[in-house]
Structure formats: structure tokens, C-alpha cells
Amino acid sequence: MIPVWMFLLLLVGATGFAWGSPANGNDREQGSILNLPADPISFQPGPGNDLASRYCLMCHSAEYVYTQPPHPREHWIEIVNKMNASFGCPISDEDMTPLVDYLVTQNSLQPSPSAQHVQRDDLKETPGQSSTQSGDPQKGKTLYGRHCVTCHGPDGKGDGPIGQALVPPAANLTLLGKQSDQTILDTLRNGRPGTAMPAWKNDLNALELNHLLSFLRTLSP
Amino acid sequence: MNEREPGIDRRQLLKGSLALGMASLLTPRVLRANDSSTVTLPFERGRRPLVAFPQKRPLMVMTTRPPQLETPFHIFNEDIFTPNDAFFVRWHLANIPREIDINTFRLTIRGRVKQSLTLGLHELQTQFEQVEIAAVCQCAGNSRGFFQPRVPGGQWGNGAMGNANWKGVRLRDLLQRAGIERDAVQVRFDGLDQPVAQATPDFRKSMSLPDALQAEMLVAHSMNGEALPLLNGFPLRLVVPGWYATYWVKMLNDIEVLNQADQNFWTSQAYRLPANPCHCVDPGDALTDTVPIGKMPVRSFITSLENGGTIPGGERCTIKGIAFDQGHGIDRVLFSVDGGQQWQSARLGKDFGDFSFRPWEAQFIPKPGHTYALQSLAINRIGESQRFGARWNPSGYLRNVVESVKIHAS
């Protein structure tokens, strides 16, 4: 929830009045807020898809890959090496080949998914239906191991191999106690724009998110 | 917040607008991200959804996070000054501040200066001369999608550019107030955007001290008479007329005077050109010597017609366009209807200054049933013209080839 004073300022910015009017001593009328949309697409299913989600979504959206023209394999190796050496994408040696294979395959898709690609059927939400089905913490644990552990760590303390190298660092998920189910599900679906926390709504369906939620509930005392 | 939606939180919007009775002013800006159409650029993987981001009308989305949005080309035909809500958007790093409190916001000028300065927006607006300049801001990778063979990097069409009236204070006045030390050689600029991983270099750009002292360099707080949109760098943006947009650091909050060449990644390794006069190589050739990208070569565009369009034959047809360069100013624009075999002079429109888009117009009578390859060729006041053959370099920079628009007369 944003305070009204911030909103007022955005209004000022948006409608074109000069800001910071020196004569105006009212401090509370200044400030702005930027709500950016969550990623519209993620990586398509296929072998290596989990590697791409894990390694490539922390810094930018999957559109970075899908808007690329057809590139030869060497270009993809160069791109991934640049992500690693120049930008700090922590790819392990054994993941390199399957990851590049996946990117090359995705790059050859015709037509390539755009931000309006058709959603996988199981990701379409029927409001109030699947989201009321309660999750299974065991299944959640498996999903967590596949998608979350590199950042949030085995016990959810935010101490995964990548977690502490992020700004802000990966959250400590043992401290979620006070947050409502709805708040947590919202974070999972939409991620946290401006941080490395990806939006999962294009990768996981409502039931899978419920599995994760019930697993996360086992982490906090 | 339960429903995250781009733009302004609806409930807040309601409260605020009721309070001020301005609902009608703001509602059009709160478009949903998903009720949109698409534009398809004329190259492979050129499909771009149109989505309205905060303070923006629907623009072509290249990427959502970080946001990179292209201006649909017809906008350049409608206005010589690109409207703020249609101005292209290009960020490198995803951690863009969501809130800026303009009371606590400060710009610092530090490093090799006699006295560091920390200035609030109010001081900037009251203690320094306010200067205005019309200037084109063009992404270094504008038109990269047209490179053949294709190259990696952001796949822009021709809409990663815009022209605006920028207002602010001279960079030089700030540097002189701080007092430059004798050993100063470069000035480095940093904004509030941050990487999401520690290992990613923060986005900073530097230029030589003599360049930074040029009279036209501004620290701008307004754009076309309004505060800058957040996505274009609110509250302050470096304005570097004639230079590619990579130097126009957004959300500028730090100016550092250096006594040695900047080693930062974004200047020393990224945004580099082959170090030869053409700044080009043959596809596949390795780059050995490189230089940082700088000023923009002369370009022109036909804006009134789209490639593949149809016009009525047998009637006089007026073709409109724009031209710009790095600040020498446009001397002439030539126009051809036969793919560049014969040229006629186009009529130049109003001059808004040497760094601005310059409108031009030409006329011809198309014959029914004929197909035409319309071209424009701009020449600046020091005699530099656009290229006839596209240059190629591995990063897809500096495109300024004569563009062709194919038209059929009905």
C-alpha cells in the first residue's frame, strides 16, 4: 500500500506540473512510485528448462532469450560465457552443455514465444478452484529443491549458493510466519520486481504453488 | 497489495483522484498489461506486444524486466518532439528504485574536485542558470535488428530514439562550482539503478573532462516541459546532445571526477566500436582494437509512409520525414523515388536547433500500378552524409545507411 502523499506526487509527475516548487514548504507532497509488470513469459517446457529458469531469470526476463534472432550455437556459448564472466551468472561446468542445448533448441522454435504466448493449460487459473485445493508439503519440498534451493538454501535461510550474492539477498523463508497465505502466494506468482526473486506464475500452476506454500509453512517455527 | 498491476495502485488512484477531482486526467494511463495488441518489426523474432507501462502509453515491449520499450514508428510522424509518454525506455539492470523521495534525493559531485557538492533538487533549480536544449536521444543499438548477419544484443527496430526539449543546469556549471583539480581527466556518472547480483557491474558511464565541459551537456530535470517520467530517469538525467543514449545516465545521483581512465565495465568493455575510421569489420572478423562509442552519425527517415504501404496513384503525394546528426545541424535532405538513382532536394522544415530532429518534406506524383523505392539521404553542415551500404560491427552499433521504403501506387 503506498501512502497518499507518494501517490500525489506521481500525479504531479504524470500530469506535468513542475515538482519541487520551492515556495511550497510541504515536505510530504514529494516522492514517486513505479510499479512494473511481472514477467509475461518464462522458459518453455523441455529438457534443460529448469536450468534456464534457475540461471537466467534472476537478472532479467526470458524475453531476453526469445527476442534473439536465430543464432548459431557459438553465439549462445558466447552469450552464456558473457553472462558468467561479465555479469556473474554462476553456471557450473556440468550444467553448461545442457543449458546451451536448451537455449539453442528454444532459439530455433517457430514461431518463438512472444510476451503473449499461449499459456500452458495447466497454468491457466480457474478462479477459486485449484487455489482452494490444499498443497502437499512433500511435493512442495521436491519443487523447492528444483526451483528455489539455489537461492534460498536447503533450510530456507536464504543461504543457497547464489542467495547471498544477490542484492537484496535471498529472503530467509523461516521468517514467513506472520504473512498470510495470500501474500505469500502473491509473491510466488509475481516475484518481487527489482530483485532476483522471479515470478513463478508462468512456470508453476496453482496446485504446485499450493504445494510450495505448504512446504514453506513447515520451515517457520 | 493483492493485485500487482503495472501503473498506479487502483485504490490509491481512486482516493487521490477523488480528492483532487482529476479522475479524467489520469485514468487513461492506467491501462492493463494484458489488453494489448502487437506490432511486428520486419525481421525474424520481431513480434512486440504493445503494453502501457507506468506514465507511458502502450509501447512495443522488447523486454519487461528490466524494461526496454520501443516507440512505435508512426509517433515520429505525429510530433517533432516525441511525447514523454511515448519516449523509448531502456534500462540495463533490474533493480530500478520504485520510489524516489524528491526531498531527500541528492546529487553529489565528488572525486578530484576542490570541494564536493551535495545538491538537492531545489538547489539545482534555484542556484544555477536554467538552460533548455532540443536534442535527440538515440540508443547505441537503435536499428540493431536490421543488421545482416544478425548480431546479439537488444533487437531494436528504428524506434529506440526520441527528440525532446530538455531543461536543466549545465554540467559545466556544476563542475566549476565544485572546482576541478589539475589532475582530473575524466568524469564518471552513476544513477540510482542497481544490479540484482553483486557480481554484475553497476551501470556507470564516463567521458573525458573536455567533453564534459562542453556547454550543451546538461543535468536535466525536465523533458518537454514536464518532470521526466520515472522510466526516462526521474528526477535527473544527464543530457549529452549529439552522443548516443548510453551516456545519458538516468536517475543521475553521482558525478565523480577521475584522475585516470575509468576501468568500469560499461565504459572500458561494453559499448565499444572497432577502432578504424568506419567503425566496421567484416562479419566474423575478430575485434582487436576498440574505442568507446561516442557521437551519432547523420541519419534520416521517412515517417509518413510504412514499408509495404499503398498510396493513391495519379495524385500529388507529400512525403514527410526527419533528419538529425551529432549537432553540426542538417544542411540538406535529398529524396529519391527510384531506390537512389535520381535525387531531388527535400524542403527542410522548422529548425529547432542543431541537436534536434529536423523535419523535411518532398512531393511526387506516383503512377498508378507502379512500385517505388523511396529513400532519403541527409547531409550535415560539415558535408557528412549517410552511408549507401550498411556498415557491420559485432555489437550492432552506428547504423546510418540510407533506408528504403517500398510503396505501391494503386
Q: Which of A19-28, A113-122, B168-177, B325-334 has the lowest mean pLDDT?
A: A19-28
What would the mean pLDDT of A131-146 be, rounded to a whole number?
86
Asked whether residue B47 is domain-assigned, the answer is no
- Residue B41: closest C-alpha in chain A: A67
Q: What is the pLDDT of residues A164-177, one digit of tens each?
A: 889 999 999 999 98
Inter-chain CB proximity B225 and A20 less than 8 Å? no
Secondary structure class of B152 (helix, strand, coil): coil
Q: Which of B1, B4, B36 is best to mutate for the A interface (most A CBs within 10 A)?
A: B4
**Dihedral sign, Cα of residue B257, residue B263, residue B265, residue B267:** positive
**What residue type is assigned to position A141 of the chain?**
K
pTM score of the predicted model: 0.88
Closest CA of chain A from B148, distance in Å: 11
Dihedral in degrees, nearest 10, Cα atoms B247, B249, B254, B257: 10
Q: Hey, what's the cell of B191?
A: 544513477
Q: Do B256 and B311 fall within a single domain?
A: no
Q: Do B228 and B356 fall within a single domain?
A: no
pLDDT at position B20 over 60 = no
Flag whether residue B150 sits within 8 Å of chain A, measured between CB atoms: yes
Q: Which of B15-29, B37-51, B71-85, B142-156 has the lowest mean pLDDT?
A: B15-29
Inter-chain CB proximity B54 and A36 less than 8 Å? yes
Domain of B157, CATH number, reads 3.90.420.10
Q: Do B309 and B201 fall within a single domain?
A: no
The whole-angstrom separation of Cα B56 and Cα A195 is: 22
Q: Do B212 and B282 fall within a single domain?
A: yes
Q: Using a CB-CB distance cutoff of 8 angstroms, which residues of chain B are in contact with residue A58?
A: 196-197
| H or E stretch at A149 | helix A149-152
Phi–psi pair at B91, nearest 5 degrees: -115, 155
pLDDT of residue B29: 31
Residues A215, A140: contact at Cβ < 8 Å?
yes
**Dihedral sign, Cα of residue B195, residue B200, residue B205, residue B206:** positive
Asked whether residue B83 is domain-assigned, the answer is no
Q: Do B391 and B304 fall within a single domain?
A: yes
Q: Do B269 and B394 fall within a single domain?
A: no
Q: Do B114 and B213 fall within a single domain?
A: yes
Q: Do B113 and B242 fall within a single domain?
A: yes
> What is chain A's Cα-based Rg?
20
pLDDT at position B14 over 50 = no
Helices (DSSP H) in A47-109: which residue ranges?
49-56, 63-66, 73-85, 93-107
Residues above pLDDT 70, as percent of chain B: 91
Instruction: Enumerate domains of chain A plus CATH numbers.
Output: 4-34 (no CATH), 49-105 (1.10.760.10), 122-217 (1.10.760.10)
Dihedral in degrees, nearest 10, Cα atoms B59, B61, B64, B68: -80
Q: Can you list the pairs that A127-132 forms with residues at least 24 positions away whose Cβ atoms lie under 8 Å? A: A130/A205, A130/A206, A130/A207, A130/A210, A131/A185, A131/A206, A131/A209, A131/A210
Q: What is the ipTM of this complex?
A: 0.89
119-148 in chain B: CB under 8 A from chain A = 121-122, 125-126, 145
Q: Hey, what's the cell of B329?
A: 545541424
Inter-chain CB proximity A60 and B66 less than 8 Å? yes
Asked whether residue B320 is domain-assigned, the answer is yes
- Residue A112: closest C-alpha in chain B: B45
Q: Using a CB-CB distance cutoff of 8 angstroms, which residues of chain B are in contact with residue A19?
A: 102, 121, 227, 235
Q: DSSP letters of A152-215?
A: H-TTSSS-STTGGGBSSPPP-GGG-TTS-HHHHHHHHHH--TTSS----TTTS-HHHHHHHHHH
pLDDT of residue A122: 62
Flag whether residue A1 sits within 8 Å of chain B, measured between CB atoms: yes
Asked whether residue B249 is domain-assigned, the answer is yes
Inter-chain CB proximity A34 and B51 less than 8 Å? no
- When pLDDT is cut at 50, 70 and 90, the band that residue A30 belongs to is very low
Domain of B339, CATH number, reads 2.60.40.650
Beta bridge mates, B63: B68
Q: Do B167 and B278 fall within a single domain?
A: yes
The whole-angstrom separation of Cα A58 and Cα A63 is: 13
Of B240, B259, B292, the domain-final residue: B292
Inter-chain CB proximity A193 and B121 less than 8 Å? no
29-88 in chain A: CB under 8 A from chain B = 30-40, 58-61, 63-64, 66-71, 75, 78-79, 86-88
Flag whether residue B367 sits within 8 Å of chain A, measured between CB atoms: no
Q: Do B202 and B310 fall within a single domain?
A: no
Give the residue numbers spanning the domain of B224. Answer: 107-144+152-292
Q: Do B129 and B206 fall within a single domain?
A: yes
pLDDT of residue A9: 38
Secondary structure class of A144 (helix, strand, coil): helix
3-state secondary structure B251-303: CEEEEEEECCCCCCHHHHCCCEEECCCCCCCCCCCCCCCEEECCECCCEEEEC
> What is chain B's Cα-based Rg?
22
Asked whether residue B85 is domain-assigned, the answer is no
- When pLDDT is cut at 50, 70 and 90, the band that residue A116 belongs to is low
- When pLDDT is cut at 50, 70 and 90, the band that residue B356 belongs to is very high
pLDDT of residue B7: 36
The whole-angstrom separation of Cα B138 and Cα B142 is: 7
Burial (0-12, 13-18, 19+ Cβ within 10 Å), B43: middle
Q: Using a CB-CB distance cutoff of 8 angstroms, which residues of chain A are in contact with residue B125?
A: 20, 22
336-355 in chain B: CB under 8 A from chain A = none
Beta bridge mates, B10: none
- b/e map of B211-228 (b: 16 or more CB within 10 Å)? bbbbebbbbbbbbbebbb
- Look at chain B and report how many structural domains it folds into: 2
Asked whether residue B43 is domain-assigned, the answer is no
pLDDT at position A27 over 50 = no
Q: What is the pLDDT of residues B147-164, one digit of tens each?
A: 999 999 999 999 999 999
Asked whether residue B212 is domain-assigned, the answer is yes
Average pLDDT of every residue of chain A: 81
Q: Do B135 and B258 fall within a single domain?
A: yes
Q: What is the pLDDT of residues B243-291, one digit of tens each?
A: 999 999 999 999 999 999 999 999 999 999 999 999 999 998 888 899 9
The whole-angstrom separation of Cα B356 and Cα B43 is: 28
The whole-angstrom separation of Cα B286 and Cα B229 is: 40
Of B258, B292, B326, the domain-final residue: B292
Asked whether residue B97 is domain-assigned, the answer is no
Q: Which of A14-23, A89-98, B18-27 has the lowest mean pLDDT?
A: B18-27
